[in-house]
Amino acid sequence: MTTTTSPAPAFASLFDLSGKVALVTGARTGLGKALAEALASAGADVVGLGSRPMPETADAVAAQGRSFHEVVCDLEKPQDFHALVADVVARAGGIDILVNNAGIIRREDVLDYTEEDWDAVMTVNLKSLFQLSQAVGRHMVASGRPGRIVNVASLLSFQGGIRVPAYTAAKHGVAGLTKLMANELAPKGITVNAIAPGYMETDNTAALRADPERTRQLMDRIPAGRWGAPQDLATAVLFFAAPASGYVTGTVLPVDGGWMAR
């Protein structure tokens, strides 16, 4: 008796983003730059949004053989996101993937935290995320695109932390909005998920990494025993952006070296 086996699945094709356009916010440095580069490595053209020009990101995307369009805008200031999306669509031909990575952090004791810092953090980290997702979602629905929205949450989407009240509130909001948008947009062919990075080597953690005692405390808690690198998020964003991940939505995935398990 002879048996036949099916050919091995073309796993690479499961994550093939050829012909897709990804809009990545906060793409100038750190996590955003790494996310943009990962998406380009899978075949996506990239539109990078940042508060300043981002030549290093443009070079990284070009090195992957993909096109890069730059959008410079300050998310702390009021924006016409529908006009912004229309401009991106005109330049790049559409938006298939939105990665909401842009974020800022302001540290101060809760009793001394200012309204100015609260408003700045909430505007960039939560309000702009919602408004841009809404504008991009409308474009995806109108163009019949099976879209992917990937938000960048945080370990402080699950925990309280200290001295970052606005950041904690915003990142809890990101987790909640991820689930709400997933519920409403799934019937329209759009998935919405979030990555919750652990303690990463970025500008936002510079103060922590400069404090030897705080660094020791953090490393003692992280089973992997190291700070995360921006490139550690590559597999997560490719998974959520993949054409084959259409049945995965409403998920908040920690990429934290085991922090949440301890």
Q: Could you tell me if residue 135 is inside a domain?
A: yes
Q: Is 113 a catalytic residue?
A: no
Average per-residue pLDDT in the chain?
95
Q: Could you tell me if residue 102 is inside a domain?
A: yes
Least confident of 3-17, 125-139, 153-167, 194-208: 3-17
Q: Could you tell me if residue 77 is inside a domain?
A: yes
Q: Could you tell me if residue 156 is inside a domain?
A: yes
Q: Could you tell me if residue 224 is inside a domain?
A: no
Least confident of 76-80, 95-99, 190-194, 214-218: 214-218
- What integer is the mean pLDDT of 198-222? 90
**pTM of the predicted model, to two decimals?**
0.94
pLDDT by residue (tens digit) across 213-248? 989 999 999 999 999 999 999 999 999 999 999 999
DSSP code string of the chain: -----PPPP-HHHHT--TT-EEEEES-SSHHHHHHHHHHHHTT-EEEEEESS--HHHHHHHHHTT--EEEEE--TTS---HHHHHHHHHHHHS--SEEEE---------GGG--HHHHHHHHIIIIIHHHHHHHHHHHHHHHHT---EEEEE--GGGTS--SS-HHHHHHHHHHHHHHHHHHHHHGGGT-EEEEEEE-SBSSGGGHHHHT-HHHHHHHHHH-TT-SPBPGGGGHHHHHHHH-GGGTT--S-EEEESTTGGG-
pLDDT in the model for residue 10: 63
Structural domains in the chain (count): 1
pLDDT by residue (tens digit) across 165-180? 999 999 999 999 999 9
Banded pLDDT at 14 (limits 50, 70, 90): confident
**What is the residue range of 141's domain?**
16-200+231-256
The CATH number covering residue 145 comes to 3.40.50.720
In the predicted model, is pLDDT for residue 159 greater than 50?
yes
The percentage of residues in the chain with a pLDDT greater than 70, rounded to a whole number, is 95
Q: Could you tell me if residue 4 is inside a domain?
A: no
Task: Indicate which residue of 113, 167, 199, 247 is catalytic.
Answer: 167
Q: Could you tell me if residue 210 is inside a domain?
A: no
